[in-house]
Amino acid sequence: MLMRKSLRSAAMVLALGVAGIAAAGAGNTPPVRHVFVCRSPLLAFDFWKSLQETRAKGIEVTTEVAIQICAAMRAGHDPQCRRVEVAELRPIAAGWGGALALANGMTKIWFQNPDGGGWVTPEYFVMLSNQNAPASTK
C-alpha cells in the first residue's frame, strides 16, 4: 500500500512539472526549479490535500491545475501559497506534521511573516529532493 501511494505521489509530482528544470546558463549554475510553497505548515498540507483530491476525482493534475489551486488559496488579497523559482532547496525549520520551511540560499522569506520561508509537506520535499538523484541501476 505504501509503495503504491509513493508511486502515485511521484507520478503526480512528475505530472505537475513543479520541478520543471529550466535551462540555466553555462558553468556551475544550478538548474532552476518551480516549487509551490505555502505560508504555514497547515496551509502546505491543505495544498497537498487539494492536489490529491483533484487527482482522486480523475482530473489530471498539471502545472496549470496546481497553479489554479495555489491561486485560489487566499486570505482576502493575500496569497496563502506561491509558486516560486529556486536554484537550490534546503529546509530551515520544521513545523506541525513534519512540514518543512524551505529557503533557497538567497531568499529567506517569501511571505510577510518573520518565521521563515515557504512551507511544504514532507512528501513533497522528499520528491523534490529525489528528482535530481541518479537513476537506479538494476
- The DSSP code for 129 is H
Rounded mean pLDDT of 63-92?
A: 87
Mean pLDDT of the chain: 74
Give the C-alpha separation, 111 to 97, whole Å: 20
Q: What is the pTM of this model?
A: 0.70
Question: Largest Cα–Cα distance of the chain, in whole Å?
Answer: 52
What is the reported pLDDT for 60?
94
Instruction: Give pLDDT tens digits for 95-120.
Output: 889 998 887 776 655 555 555 568 89
Whether the predicted pLDDT of 49 surpasses 70: yes
What is the reported pLDDT for 70?
93
Rounded mean pLDDT of 71-86?
A: 87
- What are the distances in angstroms from CA 33 to CA 30, 40, 77, 108, 131? 9, 21, 26, 16, 11
> In what helix (H) or strand (E) does residue 36 lie, and over which residues does it extend?
strand 33-38
